[in-house]
Structure 1
């Protein structure tokens, strides 16, 4: 696996719907999007599909291509493949980073994370690394989900034990 997206970052969303991609994430996006034409900036692929999701997932070019390859390997014409294509490929958008590391959040992305035009200029975005991709939330939604997760978690279970269970198939 390529370098993982790691960490939590909070960034202001300006009045023009621009937000800075965290520097650590930009380095991965840049490394995974070669070769490019001169002066062209790296791209981020924003997936806004999935009805039950309160976030948008961001992929590097390599990550987006890997996801597309996984979907292409599914049975052609199957209901699962058609849903995956619709939710993860059709309901996505490629955005080029500006030279200063910002992107403009497209309307569908803003809608998905619950940012209205009235929020622009005062809202914060939360970026959360999740291995081969990152999740983009509105800060309010991310904080609320973290609080809800804290209520649901078994305080006696070490998170490393969960990884061990997965590795053992249980």
Structure 2
């Protein structure tokens, strides 16, 4: 199974902070949890992000472990090491989905990220993000401006320099 999240959806957040993870996202979390097996709930790592962050970042276990391996390769006394260790180790909550496919967002997290009665779940390739719907609408407006700047150019042309088939001489 692919470890790529796709799509977005809006979900109710109850008074206790419980919110359902989209079914498609749960399948990716299952595939990305080495300890998962049928009948068990998958785990997810939820990163708070830096002070300027406007969303929660949620990773399958294999992805947060990949990030940790890369951080461990960095010089231990570097500013980058300290920053990334804080963001992707100290400020991460490891949790397990409940039997109904939900997670609990603490009151502190809901307040920090402006999540009240609903949460927007947004795919971001190897992770998914949880946003306040209002804050996400602002982000979407900025992305629409980028589309306007792109004009009639094919958005996939932005990948030309990174296309593996182009670099290796393969065909698309």
TM-score range relative to shorter protein: 0.7 to 0.9
Cα deviation code 1:73-95 (max 9, x no counterpart): 11111111001101221111011
Query: Which residue is 1:159 aligned to?
Result: 155
Is structure 2 residue 119 aligned with structure 1 residue 125? yes
5+ residue gaps, structure 2: 167-172
Query: Which residue is 2:41 aligned to?
Result: 41
Which structure has more RCO (C-alpha within 8 Å, separation ≥ 6)? 1
5+ residue gaps, structure 1: none
TM-score by length of 2: 0.84
Is structure 2 residue 124 aligned with structure 1 residue 136? no
Question: Cα distance, 1:158 vs. partner?
Answer: 2.6
Query: Which residue is 1:100 aligned to?
Result: 100
CA RMSD of aligned residues (A): 2.3
CA distance in 2, matches of 1:128, 1:45: 15
Matches within 5 A, 1:6-45: 6-36=6-36, 40-45=40-45
CA distance in 1, matches of 2:31, 2:57: 18
Q: 1:135 to 1:38 in 2, by over 3 A?
A: closer
CA distance in 1, matches of 2:96, 2:105: 11
